[in-house]
Amino acid sequence: MINFNYENDFTLDNEQQLSDWIARVVAIEKCEITEINYIFCDDDYLHKLNVEFLEHDTLTDVIGFDYSIGKNLQGDIYISTERVADNAKDLLLPFEAELQRVIVHGILHFCGYKDKTESDAMVMTTKENEHLTRLS
């Protein structure tokens, strides 16, 4: 089950399409969804989580709390729509394109991909690009 929750004024207008896409990504990665919650929020909300739980005093676009057991994915993925909008502007991309990248980035972490090293980040970006082409 994939749930979309909103802690700010933002709402998705294509929840079913995104849910179907995320499910396809997870299946391709040979994982299964138990329960994934996407929570859309603002910078302040996500910053508080970043400080409290990760001890990082920085703004970020996405934080995941992964409760998965093996290949059965379960967890919460928090996305700051403010940060996504700023990043999209900086990257000269449409908001939707950056949002989709962050959505898939979060679920790929739950599938086992990392991005702390340069080589891991390159693999993650390749996977993001591969799965973004599957969004229809």
**What is the separation, in whole angstroms, between the first and last Cα of the chain?**
20
- Does 57 appear as a known binding residue? no
- Whether the CB-CB separation of 66 and 75 falls below 8 Å is answered with yes
Map residue 110 onto helix, strand or coil: helix
- Does 105 appear as a known binding residue? yes
- Does 120 appear as a known binding residue? no
Q: Is 10 exposed, middle or buried (0-12, 13-18, 19+ CB in 10 A)?
A: middle
Pairing of strands 32-41, 62-66: unpaired
Query: Which residues sit opposite 35 in a β-bridge?
Result: 74
> What does the alpha-carbon distance between residue 121 and residue 48 come to, in Å, rounded to a whole number?
25
Binding residues: 105, 109, 115
Binding residues for Zn(2+): 105, 109, 115
